[in-house]
């Protein structure tokens, strides 16, 4: 038998040095033009569509904000509120818009709790501030997004929102995540309109089915035609007022007519030469985050590994002091004189840092565990356009799918932000956030929030990082981890995003941790007295890092369907 040997001449590059490999399994999306990162890839794509049409970062942010009400209805919204940071490259200015939901002027404690003094109750029933019409505060999302567009947008509103109207009319395919998130929101079944939209035969819309939103499209058309008046006046406002009255809700036409978003100065700090900006009150999350950064400046975090027990211990101790800092005197500045400069001062941070012990977790005072429950079902998106303008935006309905109420004929799913006031103000023995004098309930007031979008500039004052996260009280932990990851540990935005996260609140003794934390770190932290408690995933940061005018976008892998779109 004749044996034939065949010599295969493989191209040299297959085995040679030019073969491409990567140091990390996590890869940002790279561009030198515009980039949009949000918690839904279809909404990110609409943002880039607006950039390609000649719009700027603000135009894209408005389109993404409206689109997420369709693609991510548990958190994206027109019936909620939030905060937006805007950076304009030409003028080197940064703006902050507070469009947090505000309580109705008609809201009253007697209806909600059966008494004008809920702190006198032995057991308080939060049901009327959690689900149903009375749980909703006056929505600010439409006002805030349109205010941004009026001041800083380039394209006509019709051109910005027409792709969103088409998306609502055409519908989206129901994903596995959307199907199960609908099924987990029991409050949707309590409301006939929400049940009609999100269920078929008492079951959540099936995976792969098409969810169309014609009523929401009709509302957005009214907004295109009349701007803010298309939402806060006219037939939409009439629908709000009449349905609220029928269902014992508080919001009426006057609440809508009088709602205004507010331009505020952002707060910030110089962290190791990087200028970090975030949201001022009524955000308490911004104060938590800035406090934690200021505390960490007294420690050389860089000398530890990003996943070491020492790093986790310092993050935990800084976070718990940050949460303590926001738990008493932070609220709506229109109703309470927040001692902002004192709270975020370096002097105070130094005092808070001095009693951090590397050998043991700091103990909290023993107090009753009455706290405000803060929902994780917020969402964040980040945008940088080709000219270097940037938007960092975080907004929420409160709980997943908010109050569960959809205003009939409008498609607008409502928030449950009435849940976030400190109704136990004055209660003996309660000194946590539920009794905060800064956040006590008052009609017309905005509740304190943990949301805080972030924009960071490098040592040469160039735009460096745009980021933010959902996560309720865990938002500062998620944001702190990514900012320290890129600054202290010199990680790229993808690697910093995927670092295991921890969260430590105040006054709780537990340290919540993600499952990917190493067993060695777990044992050390437990021995230090942190009372380790396994958490679900912490946050979902949507981030853009800018290095030498190259943009690196990364959507957190912790929640499905997030995505980066680029020009």
Please answer whether residues 533 and 511 qualify as being in contact, where contact means their C-beta atoms are separated by less than 8 angstroms.
yes
| Residue 449 DSSP code | B
Tokens of 9: 């001449």
Instruction: Give dist(CA 96, CA 180) in Å, integer.
Output: 35
Instruction: Give dist(CA 447, CA 250) in Å, integer.
Output: 16
Angle at 499 between CA 463 and CA 465, to 5 degrees: 5
Residue 461, helix vs strand vs coil: coil
Task: Please state the separation of Cα 221 from the chain's center in Å.
Answer: 27
Please identify which residue in the block is written with the tokens 């929101």.
185
Is omega for the bond preceding 188 within 30 degrees of 0, making it cis? no
Q: Is 378 a catalytic residue?
A: yes
Q: Report the candidate in 433, 455, 135, 141 with the shortest Cα–Cα distance to residue 284.
A: 433
Active-site choice (243, 378, 379, 394): 378
Residue 387, helix vs strand vs coil: coil
Please answer whether residues 434 and 423 qualify as being in contact, where contact means their C-beta atoms are separated by less than 8 angstroms.
yes
Task: Please state the separation of Cα 136 from the chain's center in Å.
Answer: 19
User: What phi and psi values does residue 422 have, to the nearest 5 degrees?
Assistant: -90, 85
Please answer whether residues 561 and 175 qualify as being in contact, where contact means their C-beta atoms are separated by less than 8 angstroms.
yes
Q: Is 385 left (phi over 0), alpha (psi -120 to 50) or beta?
A: beta
Residues in the chain: 567
Instruction: Give dist(CA 80, CA 266) in Å, integer.
Output: 21
Residue 269, helix vs strand vs coil: strand
Q: Report the candidate in 241, 541, 500 with the shortest Cα–Cα distance to residue 392.
A: 541
Instruction: Give dist(CA 461, CA 450) in Å, integer.
Output: 27
User: What phi and psi values does residue 268 have, to the nearest 5 degrees?
Assistant: -165, 180
User: What phi and psi values does residue 380 have, to the nearest 5 degrees?
Assistant: -130, 150
Q: Report the candidate in 24, 25, 34, 36 with the shortest Cα–Cα distance to residue 550.
A: 34
Contacts of the segment 32-35: beta carbons below 8 A, 24+ positions apart: 32/549, 32/550, 32/551, 33/386, 33/551, 33/566, 33/567, 34/60, 34/383, 34/384, 34/385, 34/386, 34/551, 34/566, 34/567, 35/383, 35/384, 35/544, 35/551, 35/553, 35/564, 35/565, 35/566, 35/567
Residues with a catalytic annotation lie at 378
């Amino acid at each position: 038998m004749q044996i034939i040997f065949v010599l295969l001449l493989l191209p040299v590059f297959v085995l040679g040095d030019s073969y491409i490999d990567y140091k990390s399994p996590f890869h940002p999306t790279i561009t030198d033009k515009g980039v949009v990162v949000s918690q839904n890839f279809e909404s990110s794509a609409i943002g880039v569509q607006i950039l390609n049409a000649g719009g700027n970062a603000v135009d894209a942010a408005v389109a993404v904000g409206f689109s997420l009400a369709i693609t991510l209805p548990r958190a994206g919204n027109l019936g909620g509120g939030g905060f937006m940071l805007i950076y304009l490259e030409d003028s080197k200015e940064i703006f902050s818009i507070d469009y947090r939901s505000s309580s109705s002027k008609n809201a009253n404690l007697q209806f909600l709790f059966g008494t004008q003094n809920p702190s006198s109750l032995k057991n308080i029933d939060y049901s009327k501030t959690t689900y149903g019409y009375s749980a909703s505060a006056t929505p600010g999302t439409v006002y805030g997004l349109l205010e941004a567009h009026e001041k800083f947008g380039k394209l006509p509103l019709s051109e910005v929102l027409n792709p969103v109207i088409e998306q609502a009319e055409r519908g989206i395919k129901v994903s596995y995540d959307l199907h199960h998130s609908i099924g987990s929101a029991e409050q949707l079944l309590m409301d006939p309109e929400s049940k009609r939209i999100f269920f078929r035969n008492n079951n959540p819309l099936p995976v792969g089915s098409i969810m169309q939103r014609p009523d929401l499209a009709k509302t957005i058309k009214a907004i295109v035609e009349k701007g803010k008046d298309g939402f806060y006046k006219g037939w939409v406002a009439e629908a709000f007022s009449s349905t609220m009255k029928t269902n014992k809700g508080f919001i009426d036409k006057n609440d809508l007519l009088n709602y205004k978003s507010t331009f505020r100065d952002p707060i910030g700090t110089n962290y190791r030469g990087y200028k970090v900006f975030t949201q001022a009150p009524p955000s308490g999350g911004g104060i938590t985050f800035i406090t934690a950064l200021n505390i960490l400046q007294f420690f050389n975090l860089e000398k530890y590994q990003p996943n070491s027990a020492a790093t986790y211990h310092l993050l935990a101790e800084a976070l718990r002091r940050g949460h303590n800092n926001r738990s008493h005197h932070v609220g709506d500045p229109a109703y309470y004189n927040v001692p902002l400069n004192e709270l975020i001062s370096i002097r105070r941070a130094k005092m808070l840092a001095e009693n951090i012990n590397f050998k043991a977790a700091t103990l909290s005072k023993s107090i009753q565990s009455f706290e405000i429950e803060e929902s994780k079902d917020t969402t964040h998106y980040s945008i940088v356009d080709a000219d270097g303008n940037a938007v960092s935006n975080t907004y929420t309905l409160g709980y997943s799918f908010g109050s569960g109420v959809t205003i009939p004929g409008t498609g607008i799913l409502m928030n449950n932000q009435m849940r976030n006031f400190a109704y136990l103000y004055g209660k003996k023995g309660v000194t946590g956030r539920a009794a905060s004098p800064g956040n006590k309930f008052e009609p017309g007031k905005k509740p304190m929030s943990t949301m805080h979008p972030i924009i960071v500039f490098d040592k040469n004052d160039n735009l460096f990082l745009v980021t933010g996260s959902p996560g309720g009280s865990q938002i500062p932990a998620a944001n702190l981890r990514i900012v320290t990851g890129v600054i202290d540990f010199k990680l790229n935005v993808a690697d910093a995003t995927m670092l295991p996260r921890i969260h430590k609140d105040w006054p709780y003794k537990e340290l919540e941790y993600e499952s990917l934390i190493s067993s060695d770190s777990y044992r050390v932290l437990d021995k230090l007295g942190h009372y380790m408690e396994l958490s679900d995933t912490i946050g979902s940061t949507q981030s853009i890092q800018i290095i030498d005018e190259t943009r690196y976008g990364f959507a957190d892998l912790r929640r499905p369907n997030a995505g980066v779109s680029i020009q």
